[in-house]
Amino acid sequence: MKYYNFDIVFQEIPDEVTLAVNISGCPNRCPGCHSPHLWENIGTELSEQEIQSLLDRYGNAITCFCIMGGDGRLDEVEKVAQYLHKISDLKVAWYSGRSEMPAHFDLFQYVKLGDYRPSHGGLDSMDTNQRLYRNCDGKAVDITSRFWRKKVDQMSQERRNILVHSTIPAMQV
């Protein structure tokens, strides 16, 4: 299983500083895919040595390692998760385009499920078909609404504004 690139991100997993590693060879072919270059099997093998080298460089700066993709290689995704648990205390997340929870859910602290549908949008859309689950003592808890907080706050502010404006008395002429 190869990865194309990586980045340290703050939004993908709420409350975590995440090293997001983009896996190539994606078999999902979502219409409107934001990263069609990841359909090809390109990049560097995500071997144990490569993971160790990523952690040597970034391990102290992050709280979570997120495997972004790898739907065609579930066995490899699980091996990476197992290895990460063996060599670190980092949380392990998996961003998958599948709709079913992996059989070994216990290997992950977070799992994102669902293909990308342009008409529904990503996790930050309130119409999304995608879901992010947190593993709470083995139970999958849906925390997708964490991505909507900003939007909900914005909507509440807009409602407050409407209320304030509608209670200002009309000027007497």
Closest approach, Cβ 139 to ligand SF4, in A, equals 25
Does residue 70 touch ligand SF4 according to CB under 6 A?
no
* Pair 80, 6: CB distance under 8 Å: no
Strand ranges for 46-97 from DSSP E: 64-68, 91-95
Cα 47 off chain centre by: 22
Planar angle of CA 122, 31, 22, nearest 5 degrees: 60
When the beta carbons of 19 and 114 are compared against ligand SF4, the nearer one is: 114
Among 4, 94, 108, 116, binds ligand SF4 (CB under 6 A): 116
Q: What torsion, rounded to 10 degrees, do the Cα atoms 78, 26, 59, 9 define?
A: -130
Cβ-count burial of 165 within 10 angstroms (0-12 exposed, 13-18 middle, 19+ buried)?
Answer: exposed
**Binding residues among 39-58 for ligand SF4 as defined by CB under 6 A:** none
Does residue 108 touch ligand SF4 according to CB under 6 A?
no
Does residue 6 touch ligand SF4 according to CB under 6 A?
no
Among 26, 62, 67, 81, binds ligand SF4 (CB under 6 A): 26
When the beta carbons of 29 and 150 are compared against ligand SF4, the nearer one is: 29
Closest approach, Cβ 120 to ligand SF4, in A, equals 12
When the beta carbons of 44 and 154 are compared against ligand SF4, the nearer one is: 44
Does residue 30 touch ligand SF4 according to CB under 6 A?
yes
Distance CA 132, CA 134 (A): 7
Closest approach, Cβ 112 to ligand SF4, in A, equals 10
Q: What torsion, rounded to 10 degrees, do the Cα atoms 137, 141, 95, 30 define?
A: 150
Closest approach, Cβ 60 to ligand SF4, in A, equals 29
Handedness of CA 132, 134, 138, 139 (dihedral sign): negative
When the beta carbons of 65 and 95 are compared against ligand SF4, the nearer one is: 95
Residues that bind ligand SF4 (CB under 6 A): 26, 28-30, 33-35, 38, 69, 97, 115-116
